[in-house]
Structure 1
Amino acid sequence: MANAIEVFTNCYHRFGLIAALEGITRLGINRIEISVDTFPGILDFPKSMDQLDRWDPGQVDRLKGLLSRYGLTAESGFIFVENTDKELFALDKLKFDAAAQLGLKVVDLSVTWNKPLEEAYKIFPSVLEYCSQYDFQLALELHPPLYDNAEVFWRVANDFPGFPLKANFDTANVYYYNQDPDGPAELEQVIPRLVHMHLKDSLCLYHDFTFPALGEGKVPFDKMFEVLRKNNYQGPASLEVEGEDAEQQSFEGKHRVMERSIAFLRAQKFLV
């Protein structure tokens, strides 16, 4: 099984978008997952309601032109909705508009951060209603409170049966947010709704922020890839390496980690 791999721009987040695009190009990869957020001077989303009238949708075309110059294609993106006040949702709507304007096919979604599920539910119905006008698939990111694990994912999906919610499985987050989970089994349980993946390595420890190059941690990729093969998963998979160890503090160090990750995927015959 070989898949066309994306690289998540967040891998290079500390170095800025231009550095990320240059790094991804150097990797020989031409597909990206883009964080639909502010990139100063390129894409500047309003931060408050009094700035709404300053928003220029033409900035999205500027971003598209930039990606084109680097020979990169974005079909997947990530959006974080932190606010739960419906009065402020107009700010987040712009990001979903931008995702559609970019032509994204999958939007990975995270709502609030480390808050109770009922807090996320204050805004989540508004998100679903707004996104129903667009063609992209909305995939829950493996982040609490909407998708801590498969059980929570299906609870949320069943709470909103009228919207075709999808899953974005993260090979490392399943261990970060759960104590001693069976990672491959967690993947198997969301296969019916799986439309996107984050490929990330870790030490498979609860709340341990150690994310090395793929193949240098303890994530059982062989077993996870077997689940994908068995179920004939053909959807996109995005390389995400967000470690902050000493090697990854510099751009060149981060890039070496990315190169080793790509080499691992090729060796596993997971990358075209």
Structure 2
Amino acid sequence: MILSCFTNSYGRFGPPAAFELLASAGITHVELAIKNAGVPSFFGEQPVATDQSTEAEIVALSETIQQAGLKLSSCNVTSGNPLLPEVFQATLKKIDHAARLGVSLIVAGGGAIEDESEWEALVSHLRQIGDRCADSGIIYCCETHPGTCQNAERMLELMERVDHNSVRINFDPGNLFYYNETIDLWAEQKKVAPFIRHVHLKDCRGKFEDWYFPALGEGEAVDFEKLRTVLVEQNYSGPCSLEVEGIQGEPPLTLEQTHERIVQSVEHLKQTGWTIN
């Protein structure tokens, strides 16, 4: 398994802070967010890549990452609901950027429908996304988000309907607790294990709609030692990407405080048997 860090974990300081500081925490891989041009980021950072970035800008970004001594484990190309035509088109552009960056995995939404009649359009879009990914040797990993990937039951239905080898699952334990009122984390993980190609490491307090995503080990809802053991037993070998999104209502963190949560998370993983590479 590869330990990585999602650039969103650096909040308003964005990818440049991640590029500068991750190595000091012992992390050599990064999950890069490719944002939507003209859409303010939830975290308030300035994006380093969007769906409208030029090829030259993507090449320059790749060089910046290499100069920082980092490798890309994946790109996060979340654009919204891929059912929508504009989101579908933005996702295709981001897939092309990810291909230029040389990644084999991307993370994004699996979509949502309001009624059964929308399944056909969503499945069509996801299959076309899968085809575009396959052309570049990329797997599209559907994020654990509301809608078709809110829990294992819905994920399995999506996988069955789309039926595409380049469309798989990103497993996020913190999001399972956040988006479901009652959940058995390990039962959920076991059900979708054959489809997991990417993992987010996110802690929480195990409460529904509770935006409490601190340094790993501080939420106490996710047993990261057990998670590591389960993934090893399932022969999972992909990225495990830190995602530390902060705590609702807390004062804005300094860069030092933000980075310290990454350092603390790495230390917690070491204490629970993870190998940091």
TM class, shorter-chain normalised?
A: 0.7 to 0.9
In structure 2, the residue matched to 1:31 is: 29
In structure 1, the residue matched to 2:57 is: 59
1:264 matched to 2:268? The reply is: yes
- Give the secondary structure class of the aligned counterpart of 1:158: helix
Contact 1:149–1:178 at 8 Å: present in 2 too? yes
- Give the secondary structure class of the aligned counterpart of 1:261: helix
Question: How many residues matched?
Answer: 261
- Using the TM superposition, give the Cα deviation of residue 222 of structure 1 relative to its aligned residue in structure 2, in angstroms: 3.2
- Using the TM superposition, give the Cα deviation of residue 116 of structure 1 relative to its aligned residue in structure 2, in angstroms: 3.4
Q: Structure 2 CA distance, aligned partners of 1:233 and 1:88?
A: 30
Selected match of 1:21 from 19, 22, 25: 19
Identify the range of structure 1 (239-248 vs 74-83) with the bigger mean alpha-carbon deviation. Answer: 239-248
Equivalent residue letter for 2:185 = G
In structure 1, the residue matched to 2:145 is: 143
In structure 1, the residue matched to 2:230 is: 227
Contact 1:64–1:102 at 8 Å: present in 2 too? yes
- Give the secondary structure class of the aligned counterpart of 2:98: helix
- Judged with a 3 Å threshold, the aligned counterparts in structure 2 of structure 1 residues 127 and 26 are, in CA distance, closer, same or farther, namely same
Selected match of 1:194 from 174, 193, 196: 196
Q: Structure 2 CA distance, aligned partners of 1:158 and 1:80?
A: 22
In structure 1, the residue matched to 2:99 is: 100
Q: Structure 2 CA distance, aligned partners of 1:185 and 1:93?
A: 33
In structure 1, the residue matched to 2:256 is: 252
Contact 1:86–1:123 at 8 Å: present in 2 too? no
Q: Structure 1 CA distance, aligned partners of 2:170 and 2:50?
A: 26
Equivalent residue letter for 1:174 = L
- Using the TM superposition, give the Cα deviation of residue 86 of structure 1 relative to its aligned residue in structure 2, in angstroms: 2.5
Q: Structure 2 CA distance, aligned partners of 1:227 and 1:214?
A: 17
Equivalent residue letter for 2:147 = P
Contact 1:11–1:242 at 8 Å: present in 2 too? yes
**Moved >4 Å (runs of 4+):** 38-42, 117-121
Q: Structure 2 CA distance, aligned partners of 1:61 and 1:205?
A: 42
Equivalent residue letter for 1:262 = V
- After the TM superposition, which residues 169-180 of structure 1 pair with which residues of structure 2 at under 5 Å, given as runs? 169-180=171-182
Identify the range of structure 1 (58-67 vs 221-230) with the bigger mean alpha-carbon deviation. Answer: 221-230
In structure 2, the residue matched to 1:50 is: none
Equivalent residue letter for 2:114 = P
- Judged with a 3 Å threshold, the aligned counterparts in structure 2 of structure 1 residues 212 and 56 are, in CA distance, closer, same or farther, namely closer
Show structure 2 runs of 5+ residues with no match.
Answer: 38-44
Equivalent residue letter for 1:43 = A
Equivalent residue letter for 2:225 = D
Give the TM-score, by structure 2 length.
Answer: 0.85
Show structure 1 runs of 5+ residues with no match.
Answer: 47-54
Equivalent residue letter for 1:220 = D
1:43 matched to 2:49? The reply is: yes
1:134 matched to 2:132? The reply is: no
Contact 2:107–2:142 at 8 Å: present in 1 too? yes
Equivalent residue letter for 1:155 = E
RMSD of equivalent CA atoms: 2.4
- Judged with a 3 Å threshold, the aligned counterparts in structure 2 of structure 1 residues 207 and 134 are, in CA distance, closer, same or farther, namely same
Contact 1:120–1:145 at 8 Å: present in 2 too? no
Could you report, residue by residue, the CA deviation over 1:222-265 in whole angstroms, capped at 9, with x for unpaired residues?
33233223223222110110113637621111111111100001
Q: Structure 2 CA distance, aligned partners of 1:209 and 1:263?
A: 23
Contact 1:6–1:33 at 8 Å: present in 2 too? yes
Q: Structure 2 CA distance, aligned partners of 1:230 and 1:34?
A: 28
Contact 2:141–2:167 at 8 Å: present in 1 too? yes
Q: Structure 1 CA distance, aligned partners of 2:251 and 2:56?
A: 38
Selected match of 1:152 from 144, 151, 154: 154
